Every structure is written in structure tokens, then in C-alpha cells.
Amino acid sequence: MSRERQADPAELSALWRLFYRDWRPTRIGRWANRVAGWSSALGLSSKAAVLEVRGRASGQPRSTPVVIASLDGERYLVSMLGPGSDWVKNVEAADGLAVLRQGGRRAVRLIGVPSAERAPILREYVRVATSGRRHIPVAIDAPLAEYERLADRYPVYRIDPV
């Protein structure tokens, strides 16, 4: 079954359907993202940040709250909404150039991680990103093989300084 036909696992919950539909934030979800982005940009959490990427159509900066997963000394971003997420499309169009706001602004380059290497990163992401758990249908303590099965559905980017 193709990725576009699968329902977002978060939509199984009536409450989460208020925030996400068809792998995209609703109006309420966008408002919640703005609030989360504001607090993340202040640097109140070592795991939360705001990703700022130039819009692929408008050229204007687009901000998205994100959760940073750390593994083996590297930091990663995971698209809990899959490859159709606007921030993923914008990152690809911007050749990975972005800014992370987390108590300050840092220019970064996001490097795509191949599907075969994503499973341990996805497992760490599910552990640290409570909201991401709703979208990635694997238990926190599931074997790595379960994450490998879903790895091609969720883009992962390594964060490199510019």
C-alpha cells in the first residue's frame, strides 16, 4: 500500500484528529505549532527547537517546531508527518540549508539519512518526541526490526553546522 493511502496513525484518536488530518496540521494544529514554536525558540528545552527554512514557492522563511533526537553524538530531525510535510519539501528545495532557533539562531545544513540507517534514529525520536509517538505507530520498546519496517516512511535528517 502506498504512503499516501495510509491513514495517519494519529487520526485514530478523535482528539488528535483536531490537530492533524491527512498527514497535515489542521487550523488548530497550526495554532498549536505556533505556540510550541514560540516556546521552543526560547530554548526552554534541549530537545525542542524551531526549524526555519526558506519556502520553496514564496521564498519567505517558514518556521516549524521540531524535536531533536540525539544518537551517538549526532543530532537529527525526523518528519513525523512523512515526506509530504511542507518543511521536508522546503528543506529539499533549499538543498538542506536552514536555521535552527533554540535560544539563539544557528545556520545548519540538513543531510538526508538513507532509509537503511534510520531505524535507531526513529527509535530515539519516538522516545524523546511525545507528539511524534502518535504518528509513528511503533511502541517505544519495540525491537529495531519494527522501526526498520517503517523507516522509508519517515524522512530523517542529520543536523550539520554550516
User: Is residue 122 a part of any domain in this protein?
Assistant: yes
- The pTM (predicted TM-score) of the whole model is 0.80
Residue 1 within a domain: no
Domain that holds residue 15: 9-161
Structure confidence by residue, pLDDT tens digits, 54-106: 999 999 999 998 999 999 999 999 999 999 999 999 999 999 999 999 889 99
Distances in Å between the Cα of 103 and the Cα atoms of 43, 50, 122, 140 are 4, 10, 25, 29
The set of residues, in sequence order, having a beta carbon less than 8 Å from that of 147 and lying 6+ positions away, is 118, 119, 120, 122, 123, 126, 138
E strand intervals along the chain: 20-21, 24-25, 48-54, 61-71, 74-78, 97-101, 105-112, 156-161
**CATH number of the domain where residue 70 is located:** 2.30.110.10
Residue 157 DSSP label: E
